[in-house]
Structure 1
Amino acid sequence: MNSRLPDWLKKRVPSPETVALVERMMRESHLHTVCESARCPNLGECWSKKTATFMILGDICTRNCGFCAIKVGRPLQVDPEEPRRLAETAKAMGLKHVVVTSVARDDLPDEGAGHFANTIRALREVIPGVIVEVLTPDFKGKVWCIRQVVEAKPDIYNHNIETVERLSPMVRPQAKYRRTLEVLRTVKRLDPSIHTKSGLMLGLGETHEEVVQTLRDLREVGVSAVTIGQYLRPTTTRHLPVVEYVHPDRFAEYERIGKEMGFLFVASAPFVRSSYNAQAFSEQLLAERLARVGKEPPSPSEEPLPAMV
């Protein structure tokens, strides 16, 4: 196909000074962000708002997915001090909603689940009232690993389906479509109070019917929130080609379909990524939390919560 980007996929990069500030904070804290490692197109916009998605367990992945720009190889040793440093950095940034993801760590006996749990606990300790969203690997479907993360009580448990079932073996050969669904089902079975979330990319050759079926599959396992965005090829040699640049109108249609299916939150647009504008869903959760303790939610005129996006 024509490699030239359509107009709706062209983006300005704002506030280079603030981008540099966030980058410096991450380097001084010896932390990683998926924004950098995955070459996210929203990096400039998000970092200009002093937001980012923390990536724990290093920046080297044990899996080699056809869409992802994160480095693949032999990972570094787990840093036991990382959860506390991450929590302190999030506090310094004034964050009330923190998103934590990781590389896949198939080399570890618990797949990194214990480190996720420690990070959640550190955030709860350092930032009272924080909303914590985790975006985990599949842990090879091990229930005891998923349970470790669930028992640490994240508010939102995100695990991405990434693509439709037919394309899944090509897009992420070391993962499985049905295993992803089972991970999300297991989270809800272990703790129904946790909101589950998932995301998929368009433009890899999927059909309209396959996208709709994927949304049905996610609803069937109790997923509350879904994100849908355009796949953009990180490199021209090592990654899967873009089959189609999907028009924004079609993204809007999928958003409508998702809401009709009963998802509590649907974000569907070309530049949407797993945690892009995560504050929109977290504000719903905050309102629910305040309602449970008999308080009024903040008025719409108040400044929205900062979010890791």
Structure 2
Amino acid sequence: MSRSTTKEPKPDWIRIKLTTGDNYQEIKSMMRSKTLHTVCEEARCPNIYECWANRTATFMILGDVCTRACRFCAVNTGMPTELDLDEPERVADAAESMNLQHCVITSVARDDLQDGGASIFAASIHAVRKRLPLCSVEVLIPDFLGNPDALKIVMDAKPDILNHNIETVERLSDRVRAKAKYRRSMELLKNAKVLQPNIPTKSSMMLGLGEEWDEILQSMDDLREVDCNILTLGQYLQPSSKHLDVVKYIPPEDFAKLKEEGLKRGFSHVESAPLVRSSYHAHEQVKSASQH
């Protein structure tokens, strides 16, 4: 897959269904009233209309300014100025208002904090569980710069799913991600299982950045080597002209083949389609993981 000199036009299968009904507007108003951020908005997720219409959202804690500048991501980059210790309670308020059955919590990278924000993740898990005892909680965490104590803080709070994205294949990792390292991500997923063997782990990859087919399969093998249970695969879409170009649009039939390859390798659940993102259909993945 070599880089083309002219931009490839978006194919027909990259279509976003616009659904801005009552649920969408209600959730948007709620997020504003509680001064909460969602990765749905900040990362310009293509599924925001579908998910918000279905009353599901991924909360983004620790502010909306990331200390890293990954070349694929639309979230604001800079030096954060504060830490909001009341944020976990506001997340729990919103989760309760939405009567969520599955709550996904992610964050910007906060390399300025000693624990990378792990304590706020843990407090958010506890706060949601206190309000909604039957709600499963998934966390999508950064790598905490490889800090094992930070990972332990999160795992001790016992999320229902521990998610950490490798984003791309090993060869492209340094160009695509800022500060994060492919092998360090694998080590984090491995250590999560050492700390809490019964908690399912999950990771995600964007395709279309110039990776080869064999490299995707190798990444799957690497993830299974550290006992990662759930895999999501989606098409990379360029958020702005300042971000990495799309090298190739992967056709839906290739995503279908990759789903088969993932299931063959022993993942309990594989979500693989052009518009799939890390938290897409996350509530269904809990059920799949619990059955293994």
Q: TM-score range by the shorter chain?
A: over 0.9
Deviations 1:250-296 (A, max 9, x none): 000110000000000100000100000111112335668xxxxxxxx
Quote how far apart the aligned CAs of 1:220 are.
0.2
User: Between the two proteins, what is the percent identity of the paired residues?
Assistant: 51
Q: Secondary structure at the match of 2:214?
A: helix
Distance across 1 between alignment mates of 2:189 and 2:50: 30
Alignment partner of 1:188 is 2:217: no
Aligned-residue Cα RMSD (Å) equals 1.2
Q: Which residue of 1 aligns with 2:3?
A: none
Q: Which residue of 1 aligns with 2:269?
A: 265
Q: Which residue of 2 aligns with 1:55?
A: 60
Q: Secondary structure at the match of 1:99?
A: strand
Deviations 1:42-73 (A, max 9, x none): 11111111211000000000000000000001
Moved more, 65-74 or 8-17: 8-17
Distance across 1 between alignment mates of 2:72 and 2:223: 21
| Aligned equivalent of 1:71, options 69, 73, 76 | 76
Give runs of aligned pairs for residues 1-309 of structure 1, distance below 5 A.
1-236=6-241, 238-285=242-289
How many residues align structurally?
287
Distance across 2 between alignment mates of 1:18 and 1:286: 29
Cα 1:287/1:94, change in 2 over 3 Å: farther
- Kept in 1, the 8 Å contact 2:229–2:289? The answer is no
Quote how far apart the aligned CAs of 1:209 are.
0.2
List alignment gaps of at least 5 residues for structure 2.
Answer: 1-5
Quote how far apart the aligned CAs of 1:3 are.
3.9
Distance across 1 between alignment mates of 2:47 and 2:262: 23
TM-score w.r.t. structure 2 length?
Answer: 0.96
- Kept in 1, the 8 Å contact 2:268–2:289? The answer is no
Deviations 1:145-183 (A, max 9, x none): 000000000010000000000000100031100000000
Q: Secondary structure at the match of 1:85?
A: helix
Distance across 2 between alignment mates of 1:191 and 1:112: 20
The amino acid that maps onto 1:139 is F
Distance across 1 between alignment mates of 2:120 and 2:279: 20
Q: Secondary structure at the match of 2:170?
A: coil
The amino acid that maps onto 1:81 is D
Moved over 6 A (4+): none
Distance across 2 between alignment mates of 1:225 and 1:109: 29
